[in-house]
């Protein structure tokens, strides 16, 4: 979970610098865990183009523990 949140925050910093961001973590012991990183629009110039490896890495990490990644 730490790495998922870390990569999500890195993506916000790179692609939406200065935008407000909210991290939500929910679930229950022994149950499912949900991690959500949501950002608003950046007030600065467009972010750097991404190589796509960040989201791919997040999806791979989630899949390793039986989870999935949704982004948009």
Give the span between the Cα atoms of 38 and 14, in whole angstroms: 14
Give the span between the Cα atoms of 3 and 61, in whole angstroms: 9
Q: What is the pLDDT of residue 25?
A: 94
Helices then strands, each counted (H, E), the chain: 2, 2
Computed from CA positions of residues 6, 7, 8, 12, in that sequence, does the dihedral angle turn out positive or negative? positive
Of the candidates 15, 70, 8, the residue with the CA atom closest to the CA atom of residue 41: 15
Of the candidates 5, 11, 2, the residue with the CA atom closest to the CA atom of residue 72: 11
Q: What is the pLDDT of residue 29?
A: 80
Q: Each residue of 13-71: pLDDT tens digit?
A: 888 888 999 999 999 888 888 999 999 887 776 666 666 677 888 899 889 888 898 88
Q: Specify the pTM.
A: 0.76
């Amino acid at each position: 979970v730490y790495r998922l949140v870390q990569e999500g925050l890195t993506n916000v910093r790179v692609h939406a610098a200065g935008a407000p961001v909210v991290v939500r973590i929910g679930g229950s012991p022994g149950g499912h865990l949900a991690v959500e990183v949501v950002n608003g629009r950046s007030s600065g110039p467009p972010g750097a183009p991404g190589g796509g490896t960040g989201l791919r890495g997040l999806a791979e990490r989630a899949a390793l523990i039986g989870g999935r990644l949704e982004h948009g």
